[in-house]
Chains A and B, each alone.
Chain A
């Protein structure tokens, strides 16, 4: 088969900035100092000043810097190049318009400690975004403060802790006992890590052979009387909607606990169904997934927390509220005695709030639903296209992402990692691999709505071709990728003798 998406092209070699440095080169110019100079010793005694002249920090001209970062950038795959089907990551189109909005000087140059009366536009942006997220989730209390998904999780489970402490007191036997956070075995690692940080003991719930939460096991765990809550992703990390969600919430509520929903997969639900209507008490959203703020090679994100009216008093401070005087003004409210406190300095990743609001306003209410439909349709298209070629661990119809395994290919010694690496040669970023952990050789594919039919078909064709190669020419797959600047890296050697920073020649040691 001819590879339809990618062909090879020139790749640049480029050293580290430290290796490129040439003494005397400069990439900046400041205005001359326009005040009378104070003697250095008068400013600061010598023992408080640096004495290393910043040795080792690079010296480069402006073109050197631009070429350096441009060259290394070409080694990255990215959404603007094509399908980036990482499951549970929602790699959708990052609009340039939203980038422009975030750079409007009236926002970008606004200091967070500017007086509220002189920052009304920023507060309006946050307030309006809060209103829309409340409508989208069906949960009226919103804080935009958390900086990422895991941060939102921590905020949400700390709110559960605070709610239970307010309800049960902190000294009763009941309160001391209620420390267990239930988390399905298919969950993201951030869930147990966040629960632990919030003082909970984690107990794992099994999944059924259908890939759903095991209700019997849930009932059994809830019967112990020590359950504080449940953290659930829905659709879950197998891409399947937890159709018993109402019952799940009822079981946890009857046992005296609360339900936290991980909103990583909200791209399957916006405009179609709302966590608040399912019985969920608190959720975090990933603005960098569902609401298209760019991933940036690992952040920044934004993880707003949305909750029921009952939990609202426990949200972080400050809250963005209307002034209450009918003048249309907004203010920051710090008088929240039940609040869990601050989770971050200032008010959250405001630049991401701007982009997410721009996304919501660009789509409109009909466009939000349309995006959800298109995202689920694209995932179904891939699921259908690959159904005969790869093993599907669960029969349930997928939502916005579909899950396959390497079961058939591994008989020939070709595993998920190899399939992923070979996809690179076909011009695609690999899917999420080996997650969820409960599925051996998992391949989780999330195309999002931002990809057209022909490219979906190219992806399906590439996957089928790799499956054929696995049978007939396994070495090609096992040694992939063949088209990248570097091959598979020896990660074991890297972890045994970690080198985590550059050092000048002759001074290089393992970190």
Chain B
């Protein structure tokens, strides 16, 4: 059973968002990393790039698949987890911790309300697998 920590927001594209003030931290969920398999490469944007909600901000690659990364809400990139360049496996081993991908300055705090809670996301992945 996938780990879905409380206190984070989730998108139907299987990204998580942690909100602290007007800063958001983004990564992919445990469920997502599990279905991808061994992550071998993460392509991330540069600091300062701006994206709208649900826009592609990068991609994550396993040996035989590429998945696009969608930003749960709009924002400007303020920090990128450069350590994933050398250790992309952190996305597998610690998706909510060291495997985080980018930090953003939220464009519109209100967008967060459209995202799922932990319980809602758990229901969502359950319904998806049925």
Which residues of A does B touch, CB under 8 Å?
A: 434, 491-492, 495-496
Contacts and interface: CB of A to CB of B under 8 A. Distances in A.
17 contacts: A434-B64, A491-B63, A492-B37, A492-B38, A492-B39, A492-B40, A492-B62, A492-B63, A492-B89, A495-B40, A495-B41, A495-B61, A495-B63, A496-B40, A496-B41, A496-B88, A496-B89
Contacts of A491: 63
Nearest to B61: A495
B87 to A, nearest CB: 8
- Number of chain B interface residues as a range: 10 to 19
A202 to B, nearest CB: 16
A285 to B, nearest CB: 28
Nearest to B89: A496
Contacts of B39: 492
Nearest to A492: B38
Query: Which of B37, B38, B62, B89 has the largest count of A CB atoms less than 10 A from its CB?
Result: B38
A492 B64 CA distance: 9
Interface string B17-36: 00000000000000000000
A496 B40 CA distance: 5
A461 B72 CA distance: 51
A217 B17 CA distance: 37
Contacts of A492: 37-40, 62-63, 89
A491 B89 CA distance: 13
Given A492-B38, A492-B63, 15 more contacts: A434-B64, A491-B63, A492-B37, A492-B39, A492-B40, A492-B62, A492-B89, A495-B40, A495-B41, A495-B61, A495-B63, A496-B40, A496-B41, A496-B88, A496-B89
A492 B38 CA distance: 6
| Top 9 closest pairs, chain A to chain B, by CB | A492-B38, A495-B40, A491-B63, A496-B40, A492-B40, A492-B63, A495-B63, A496-B88, A496-B89
A496 B42 CA distance: 10
A434 B62 CA distance: 15
B95 to A, nearest CB: 16
Contacts of B89: 492, 496
A495 B38 CA distance: 10
Contacts of A495: 40-41, 61, 63
A434 B63 CA distance: 14
Nearest to A491: B63
Nearest to B37: A492
Contacts of B63: 491-492, 495
Contacts of B37: 492
A495 B61 CA distance: 10
Nearest to B87: A496
Interface in B70-115: 88-89
Contacts of A496: 40-41, 88-89
A491 B62 CA distance: 10
Nearest to A510: B86
Query: Which of A434, A491, A496 has the largest count of B CB atoms less than 10 A from its CB?
Result: A496
A492 B89 CA distance: 9
Nearest to A434: B64
Contacts of B61: 495
A363 B41 CA distance: 50
Nearest to B92: A492
A495 B89 CA distance: 11
A472 B41 CA distance: 37
Nearest to B62: A492
B130 to A, nearest CB: 15
Nearest to A496: B40
Contacts of B88: 496
A365 B61 CA distance: 49
A478 to B, nearest CB: 16
A83 to B, nearest CB: 25
B93 to A, nearest CB: 12
A495 B40 CA distance: 6
B28 to A, nearest CB: 16
Contacts of B41: 495-496
A496 B41 CA distance: 6
B66 to A, nearest CB: 12
A496 B61 CA distance: 10
A496 B88 CA distance: 7
Nearest to B63: A491
A491 B41 CA distance: 13
Contacts of B64: 434
Nearest to A495: B40
A79 to B, nearest CB: 26
A128 B61 CA distance: 47
A504 B82 CA distance: 30
A219 B38 CA distance: 40
A68 B40 CA distance: 33
A434 B64 CA distance: 11
A308 to B, nearest CB: 37
A491 B63 CA distance: 7
A453 to B, nearest CB: 35
A356 B64 CA distance: 34
A491 B58 CA distance: 22
A20 B31 CA distance: 47
A350 to B, nearest CB: 36
B19 to A, nearest CB: 31
A457 B39 CA distance: 40
Contacts of A434: 64
Interface string B36-67: 01111100000000000000000001111000
A496 B38 CA distance: 10
Query: Which of B41, B63, B64, B89 has the largest count of A CB atoms less than 10 A from its CB?
Result: B63
